[in-house]
Amino acid sequence: MITVKSLTFNAYSENTYVLFDETKECVIIDPGMYEGYEQNELVSFLKENGLKPVLLLNTHCHIDHVFGNKFVFDTYGLKPQFHKGELEVLNAVPAYAPAMGFTQYQISPLPDTFLTEADTINFGNSSLSIIFAPGHSPAHLCFYSKADHTLMGGDVLFQGSIGRTDLPGGNHQQLIQNISQRLFVLPDETTVYPGHGPATTIGYEKKHNPFF
């Protein structure tokens, strides 16, 4: 049984997630810690719960989702894993971070392994399948636990909204199509944990999301 902990970090109010089960192995998804006190908050949560980080995953590589990649690598020895189509997005961050006021951005390590839709992510007694859902970014991934009816959705689908598509590599039509064909086919009771804002469900968004 997967437990999901949400921690909200940085100027963009980005949701960083820790997923763990009864084995105490955990996965860190989209670490957004920028300030020292945010790094401390993550470390404290892991320590207090006796968790052992075994994987670092990025749904995509926009700046607010990768601020903490270097810190997680330095602290826990984990390199990020994401789709290779996001590499260009990650590599662009150091050039624009200072202009946005993020002069302390620490350059993320690069993956040893890239993820594809065919992969399964395993930790503890749990597994996540991968859904390829570009549109907000060129190679965005969502992580889905069928057993727990849980979707780590990144910036694809929000409560009552969808990811922005005006950044490089964004595509509005592609995003709408991927949500319709790849997310809305999941069971209605699936909880969606987005990159920003409150959790929602597939059923709620199918009924109420104004974009559909």
CA separation for the pair 61, 154 (Å, rounded): 10
- CA atoms within 13 Å, Cβ hemisphere of 112: 6
Q: pLDDT tens, 51-67? A: 999 999 999 999 999 99
Q: In terms of Cα–Cα distance, which of 35, 41, 32 is closest to 13?
A: 32
Q: Please state the pTM of the whole predicted model.
A: 0.98
Q: What is the pLDDT of residue 107?
A: 97
Domains in the chain (CATH in brackets) are: 3-208 (3.60.15.10)
Q: What is the pLDDT of residue 152?
A: 98
Q: How would you classify residue 149: left for phi > 0, otherwise alpha for psi between -120 and 50, otherwise beta?
A: left
User: Which stretches in the chain have pLDDT values below 70?
Assistant: none
